[in-house]
């Protein structure tokens, strides 16, 4: 009789031969089912890797939240030291801004509108055309200080070699327009323009303006190699009858602070009052205004509010990540970071002032672990002692910033966690590759074995059929016709 083999449902796993032809053995289905069982370790590795990738993503969210909290802490530390405002009784005389190094106080500032800092302006003799060639040569532009001393008075000029600039005037730029463009392109600290006076003979005049203010920015011009060009451009500020006409002299600003005379090459003065920048305005006459410096609570109040919001956001992010069933449930490193941050918010900062805890500024923990800011209590605390509140804010901001850096920095806790997970993922990749190679060999072996079995069964079936036929032909063989 023929050998009967049970039929097994076929699988699509792998590339397999068709079912056995001679025996009816489902080689493809058998190998597929066996390989499905063999591949269970691959499924386990895939699940492990997916879990690790989810942990990486969660750590990334926690790191981002802690980074935002660190930024808020740094802003708080800055607000604790930069909390001054400057007010001016007459803003038409000057404006003022204060930095963190300012000192509370009041200053009387007198400004003479005619003695503000200004740059020099000079104008050359007129020319009939802007496009007529003048001459060629080398123009040297110098800046320095013009002084008048002695009796009789003697005018002298002291040049600053670091500000000297030379430029070549040749056939490509030796017209009035060309000289203007060459000076502007040289970045020599001078702006050149051409003024049309409307004069019928020589209306075009070259005008030069120093870009910087102050007495030390007086110009001197000299031309070498060409007398014609020199006749136009030579200018000596000590010459009683110079070629150029000076329309505005270079001068320093002169003003007083509490009666003390001060000079400045600029109308923006940063060193007259410590920590204060004064910007002098050109108001006619001598005018006096008061500059008052006071501590301001606005920046500090805003920074504390931002810190509370950042803390609550970080707390929620960590709570979601470590909740029951979450990917980081029970993760000790993350929970320890959360406790460390919470302890800093709830602990004391011993600054020696009236305030040592955030609760004294109206910031307290709620039942759910979040922070709440009582704006009324905060306002009262800042009004009562802004300096000590600022000291507490600076100390807490710095402590938080340093603590969080140990968590999210390059050598921090999260970096160590991330590195460990990435190493495990890399190891899983190596194990997967090795397992896939082994599975390929196993599948090939199963395929070979069942193909051989198929051939064997097919041969056995052929032999069985042959023997049946031979037995049927033997004398006296039983047939249905003979009964």
Could you report the per-residue pLDDT of 402-434, keeping only the tens digit for each? 999 999 998 889 988 888 888 988 888 888 888
Given a cut of 90, is residue 13 above it in pLDDT? no
Same domain, 131 and 241: yes
In a domain, 206, yes or no: yes
Same domain, 138 and 244: yes
Query: What is the pLDDT averaged over residues 115-123?
Result: 97
Residue 20: which pLDDT band, with cuts at 50, 70 and 90?
A: very low
* pTM check: above 0.75: no
The contacts of residue 455 (CB under 8 Å, 6+ apart) are: 22, 23
In tens, the pLDDT along 70-99 reads: 999 999 998 877 668 899 999 999 999 988
Residue 348: which pLDDT band, with cuts at 50, 70 and 90?
A: very high
In tens, the pLDDT along 428-448 reads: 888 888 888 787 877 778 777
pLDDT recorded at residue 82: 60
Same domain, 287 and 308: no
In a domain, 472, yes or no: no
The residue among 373, 404, 419 that closes a domain is: 419
Same domain, 139 and 236: yes
Q: 199-208, 256-265, 429-438: which range is least confident on average?
A: 429-438
In tens, the pLDDT along 136-165 reads: 999 999 999 999 988 888 999 999 999 999
The residue among 419, 447, 474 that closes a domain is: 419
The H or E element spanning position 395 is: helix 386-408
Given a cut of 50, is residue 15 above it in pLDDT? no
In tens, the pLDDT along 272-321 reads: 999 999 999 999 999 999 999 987 788 889 999 999 999 999 999 999 99
Same domain, 341 and 223: no
Same domain, 410 and 306: yes
Query: What is the pLDDT averaged over residues 3-20?
Result: 40
Given a cut of 80, is residue 476 above it in pLDDT? no
Same domain, 131 and 243: yes
Same domain, 348 and 265: no
CB 357 within 8 A of CB 363: no
User: Which of 260, 192, 249 lies closest to 216, judged by CA?
Assistant: 249
The angle subtended at Cα 442 by Cα 436 and Cα 444, nearest 5°, is: 105
Same domain, 183 and 227: yes
Given a cut of 70, is residue 2 above it in pLDDT? no
Rounded Cα gap, residues 35 and 441, in angstroms:
11
In a domain, 315, yes or no: yes
pLDDT recorded at residue 278: 97
Query: What is the pLDDT averaged over residues 177-198?
Result: 96
**Unique residue bearing structure tokens 């960590």:** 318
Rounded Cα gap, residues 453 and 30, in angstroms:
12
Given a cut of 50, is residue 241 above it in pLDDT? yes
The pair of structure tokens assigned to 392 is 């507490």
In a domain, 427, yes or no: no
Same domain, 197 and 232: yes
Residue 24: which pLDDT band, with cuts at 50, 70 and 90?
A: low
pLDDT recorded at residue 441: 79
Burial grade of 289 (CB within 10 A; 0-12, 13-18, 19 or more): buried
Instruction: State phi, psi for 281 to the nearest 5 degrees.
Output: -110, 150
Interior/surface letters 42-64, b for 16+ CB within 10 angstroms, e for the rest:
eeebeeeeeebeebeebbeebbe
Helices (H) and strands (E) in the chain, counts: 9, 18
Query: What is the pLDDT averaged over residues 203-207?
Result: 97
Same domain, 188 and 167: yes
pLDDT recorded at residue 119: 97
SS3 99: coil
The pair of structure tokens assigned to 92 is 């038409």
Residue 28: which pLDDT band, with cuts at 50, 70 and 90?
A: confident
The share of the chain scoring above pLDDT 70, in percent, equals 92
In a domain, 469, yes or no: no
Q: How many domains does the chain have?
A: 3
The contacts of residue 359 (CB under 8 Å, 6+ apart) are: none
In a domain, 2, yes or no: no
pLDDT recorded at residue 8: 34
Given a cut of 60, is residue 483 above it in pLDDT? no
The pair of structure tokens assigned to 347 is 């602990």
The residue among 360, 390, 419 that closes a domain is: 419
Given a cut of 80, is residue 6 above it in pLDDT? no
In a domain, 432, yes or no: no
Residue 467: which pLDDT band, with cuts at 50, 70 and 90?
A: confident
Query: What is the pLDDT averaged over residues 461-475?
Result: 76
pLDDT recorded at residue 274: 92
Rounded Cα gap, residues 234 and 105, in angstroms:
51
Same domain, 64 and 145: no
Domain of 221? Answer: 121-248
The share of the chain scoring above pLDDT 90, in percent, equals 61
In a domain, 438, yes or no: no
Q: 61-75, 225-239, 288-302, 459-473: which range is least confident on average?
A: 459-473
């Amino acid at each position: 009789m023929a050998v009967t083999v049970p039929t097994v449902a076929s699988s699509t796993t792998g590339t397999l031969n068709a079912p056995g032809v001679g025996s009816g053995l489902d080689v493809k289905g058998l190998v597929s089912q066996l390989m499905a069982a063999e591949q269970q370790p691959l499924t386990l590795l895939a699940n492990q890797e997916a879990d690790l990738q989810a942990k990486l993503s969660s750590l990334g969210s926690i790191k981002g939240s802690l980074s935002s909290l660190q930024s808020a802490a740094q802003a708080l530390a800055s607000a604790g030291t930069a909390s001054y405002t400057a007010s001016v009784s007459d803003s038409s005389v000057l404006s003022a801004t204060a930095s963190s190094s300012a000192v509370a106080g009041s200053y009387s500032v007198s400004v003479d509108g005619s003695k503000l800092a200004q740059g020099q302006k000079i104008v050359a003799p007129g020319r009939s055309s802007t496009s007529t060639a003048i001459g060629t040569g080398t123009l040297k532009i110098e800046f320095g200080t013009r002084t008048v001393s002695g009796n009789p008075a003697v005018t002298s000029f002291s040049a600053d070699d670091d500000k000297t600039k030379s430029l070549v005037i040749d056939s490509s730029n030796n017209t009035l327009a060309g000289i203007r463009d060459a000076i502007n392109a040289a970045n020599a600290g001078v702006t050149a323009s051409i003024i049309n006076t409307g004069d019928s003979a020589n209306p075009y005049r070259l005008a030069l303006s120093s870009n910087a203010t102050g007495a030390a920015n007086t110009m001197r011009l000299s031309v070498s190699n060409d007398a014609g060009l020199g006749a136009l451009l030579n200018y000596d500020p000590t010459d009683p009858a110079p070629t150029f006409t000076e329309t505005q002299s270079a001068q320093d600003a002169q003003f007083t602070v509490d009666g003390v005379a001060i000079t400045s090459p600029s109308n923006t003065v940063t060193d007259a009052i410590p920590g204060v920048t004064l910007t002098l305005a050109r108001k006619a006459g001598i005018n006096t205004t008061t500059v008052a410096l006071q501590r301001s609570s606005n920046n500090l109040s805003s920074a504390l509010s931002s810190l509370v919001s950042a803390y609550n956001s970080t707390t929620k992010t960590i709570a979601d990540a470590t909740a029951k069933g979450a990917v980081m449930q029970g993760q000790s490193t993350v929970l320890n970071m959360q406790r460390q941050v919470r302890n800093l918010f709830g602990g004391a900062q011993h600054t020696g002032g009236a305030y040592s805890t955030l609760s004294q500024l109206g910031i307290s923990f709620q039942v759910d672990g979040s922070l709440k800011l009582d704006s009324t209590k905060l306002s009262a605390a800042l009004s009562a002692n802004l300096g000590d509140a600022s000291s507490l804010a600076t100390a807490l901001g710095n402590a938080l910033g340093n603590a969080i850096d140990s968590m999210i920095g390059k050598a921090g806790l999260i970096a160590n966690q991330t590195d460990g997970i990435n190493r495990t993922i890399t190891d899983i990749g190596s194990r997967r590759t090795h397992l896939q190679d082994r599975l390929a060999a196993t599948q090939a072996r199963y395929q070979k074995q069942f193909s051989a079995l198929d051939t064997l069964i097919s041969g056995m079936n052929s032999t069985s059929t042959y023997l049946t036929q031979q037995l049927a032909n033997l004398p006296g063989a039983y047939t249905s016709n003979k009964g």
